[in-house]
Amino acid sequence: MEQLADGGIRVEALAGEYQAQAERWAVRLGLPLQDDSAAFAVQVGEAGLQIQQLGPQAPGPVRVDFVEGAAAHRRVFGGGSGQMIAKAVGIAQGVRPHVLDATAGLGKDAFVLAGLGCQMQLIERQPLVAALLEDGLARAAGDAEVGPIVARMQLLPGNSIERMRDWQGEPPQVIYLDPMFPHRDKSALVKKEMRVFRPLVGDDLDAPALLEAALALASHRVVVKRPRKAPIIDGPKPSHSLEGKSSRYDIYPKKALKP
């Protein structure tokens, strides 16, 4: 795995009983268990897997939790199929498309769509973020309420562009993209996840190639989430957009979704 310009990444157990798990993750991710110069730590503990930025001003750890916290609140109070993301991917009466989220991140949007009944496939190309997502899905699988939702979420390994270009089997009806946008604005980094992830993940400078691969594969439509004022991705123009307070969904239709 790539090392960061301002320090590396180490894996550590938060208690002795998690040492064996930490060692397995270190091998899988190709990261050391000891590194005093590390800027980040992948930590294994009672709450599962998390990434902690190290240093005096660092925000708290980032982990995936589909059972409690923000994901649970949105599942109960988020607005159901009236949400803009639901309209963007084409959810309607009798229509629950098969969706590929090719930039899955921490799985938040995919979890919303799975909660509304969509069969989801997820690709996250950054290995650390994919590890958090894998761990969060595994922990949620045993929950009585959330287990049936995450059962509709299949995490696929690898690079999104390569996976889409070499797709095997029936193509997804809808492909959802939320590429990391190059923010110049410091205020855009206040979210804890963004402060932690931007040094790890960087910006998706190959967004045009992502869009091109998605348009070639999706059977019915491609949906791109963007900051509200961001330019469209270079390439074909979307047919229309749905705009919210801070973000918008650019929609590239190919074929009508029918019940």
CATH number (domain holding residue 113): 3.40.50.150
Q: Which residues are annotated as a binding site?
A: 124-125, 178
Query: 78 with 31, same domain?
Result: no
* Per-residue pLDDT reduced to its tens digit, 46-70: 999 999 999 888 888 999 999 987 7
* CA gap 82, 243 in Å, rounded: 14
Tell whether 136 and 20 lie within a shared domain. no
Between the ranges 144-148, 183-187, 192-196, 203-207, where is the mean pLDDT highest? 144-148
Measured between its terminal Cα atoms, the distance across the chain in Å is: 44
Please tell me the distance from the alpha carbon of residue 124 to that of residue 157, in angstroms, as a whole number: 7
235 located within any domain: yes
d(CA 175, CA 167): 13
Question: How many angstroms separate the CA atoms of 151 and 172, rounded?
Answer: 17
Q: Is the pLDDT of residue 192 over 70?
A: no
Structural domain of 32: 9-53
76 and 147 part of one domain = yes
One domain for residues 94 and 190: yes
Q: What is the mean pLDDT of the chain?
A: 90
- What residues are designated binding site for S-adenosyl-L-methionine? 124-125, 178
Tell whether 123 and 155 lie within a shared domain. Answer: yes
pLDDT, position 100: 98
If asked whether residues 184 and 247 sit together in one domain, one would say: yes
| 166 has a pLDDT exceeding 60 | yes
Inside any domain, residue 61: no
pTM: 0.91
43 & 148 share domain: no
Residue 63 lies in a domain: no
Let me know if residue 34 belongs to a domain.
yes
Residue that wins the pLDDT comparison between 259 and 137: 137
Q: What is the mean pLDDT of residues 212-224?
A: 98
